[in-house]
Structure 1
Amino acid sequence: MPGVKNSVCPSSRSGASSDCAEFTLNTAWVKGSKEIAGLMLMTMEPEIQQNLENLHANDMLKELKTLFAQQAEQELLQTTRDFHSCKQEEGQSVSSYVLKMKGYIDMLERLEHPVTLGLAVSLILNGLRKEFDGFVQNYNMHSLGKTVNELHAMLKLHEQTLI
């Protein structure tokens, strides 16, 4: 029919097969982008959805990174501060204390700032109550080089001798 364009491709002039393939790819890309944006929006809190619903998936991702980068930095700072200042409290079991320290280690790893084994062990030993001074001195003298889990088991055994 004269004057009616192909509904799939924008033109029927020479070189149209190239234009048609490009048009088809672009249409598929736009459809895929809308589907991804929809899926992203479905996983968000309503307040965030409202601010991002008019964006394409790529722009939405950029906005989310900007939005949460500052929060992640603050969380990293606070977790690092808490980890370095954590001390075993009076009456707190050594197991409870070490599990709290492991929580900080795990959180720092999730924030993409893993802690070396040496630093983890040093901070755990440094935060123990005075009753563990003999244990710490013995551990350091013999350079035992244990994992955090092995240290945890050793500390639990030592704590039983203090009772």
Structure 2
Amino acid sequence: MFNGTNYTDWLCSLRIFLNYENQGYVMDKPLLQTLPAGSPSDECDTLERWHADHRKVRNIILASMSNGIWKQYDRLDDIASILQSIKKVYGILDWHTRFVATKEFLRIKMTEGSSLQEHGVKMLSLVEKIEDLKAELDNDTNIDVILQLLPPSYDPFIVNINMNGLEKSINELINMLV
């Protein structure tokens, strides 16, 4: 249910559901009104099916919103218009969410004596969240940040990795650290 604070998650869930129903294509194509005169009957059938799917998807989109929100978009007939309007209003929250997640990722220093497994799980969770929000940090940068946020007792490990080179995933790095 879209409530105004979960734009990215809602859009992702909506696409998953619509793709399962083989109707996700209507979100990515503009609404076609008519075909040229003399178009083959199979193209007319396809257009008819497309319009029927468009009506269904529009209703699914509106039904997946909380009351106060869907009423703002009920007057719009075209799915593209609805999604553009929603993105203008609520898409900015994605930037803020990404900013907060990245800030937390860059500041979550592990304290000496705390559980590396708990810290590793938290780091993996933040990396996945940042990736979901399209923050585009590459694997090497993620590993550099994780290593920089370890306490001094891990310095020998870090030196050893630097000497031998590290071509590992974040999961492999966490396993090596544990």
- Determine if the TM-score, normalized by the shorter chain, exceeds 0.5: yes
Q: 2:175 aligns with which of 144, 153, 161?
A: 153
Say whether residues 1:109 and 2:131 are aligned partners: yes
Give the unaligned 5+ runs of structure 1: 1-17, 157-163
Q: Which amino acid aligns with 1:129?
A: P
Dislocated runs of 4+, deviation >6 Å: none
Q: C-alpha root-mean-square deviation of aligned residues, in Å?
A: 2.3
Q: Which residue of 2 aligns with 1:87?
A: 109
User: 2:88, 2:135 → 1: CA distance?
Assistant: 19
SS at match of 1:140: helix
Classify 1:59/1:92 alpha carbon distance in 2 versus 1 (closer, same or farther; 3 Å). Answer: same
Q: Which residue of 2 aligns with 1:37?
A: 58
Q: Which residue of 2 aligns with 1:160?
A: none
* Per-residue Cα deviation, 1:87-130 (whole angstroms, up to 9, x for no partner): 11344211111111111111111112232111111111110112
Q: 2:92 aligns with which of 70, 74, 79?
A: 70
Q: 1:123 aligns with which of 145, 148, 154?
A: 145
Shift of 1:32: 4.8
Q: Which residue of 2 aligns with 1:53?
A: 74
Q: Which residue of 1 aligns with 2:157?
A: 135
User: 1:121, 1:31 → 2: CA distance?
Assistant: 48
User: 2:138, 2:144 → 1: CA distance?
Assistant: 10
Q: Contact 1:87/1:128 (CA < 8 Å) preserved in 2?
A: yes
Question: How high is the sequence identity, in percent, across the aligned residues?
Answer: 24
User: 2:166, 2:112 → 1: CA distance?
Assistant: 26
User: 2:51, 2:128 → 1: CA distance?
Assistant: 39
Q: Which residue of 1 aligns with 2:27?
A: none
User: 1:153, 1:39 → 2: CA distance?
Assistant: 43
Q: Which amino acid aligns with 1:114?
A: E
The structure, 1 or 2, with the larger RCO (C-alpha pairs under 8 Å, 6+ apart) is 2
User: 1:31, 1:147 → 2: CA distance?
Assistant: 45
Classify 1:125/1:53 alpha carbon distance in 2 versus 1 (closer, same or farther; 3 Å). Answer: same
Q: Contact 1:105/1:114 (CA < 8 Å) preserved in 2?
A: no
**Structure with greater Cα Rg:** 1
Number of equivalent positions? 135
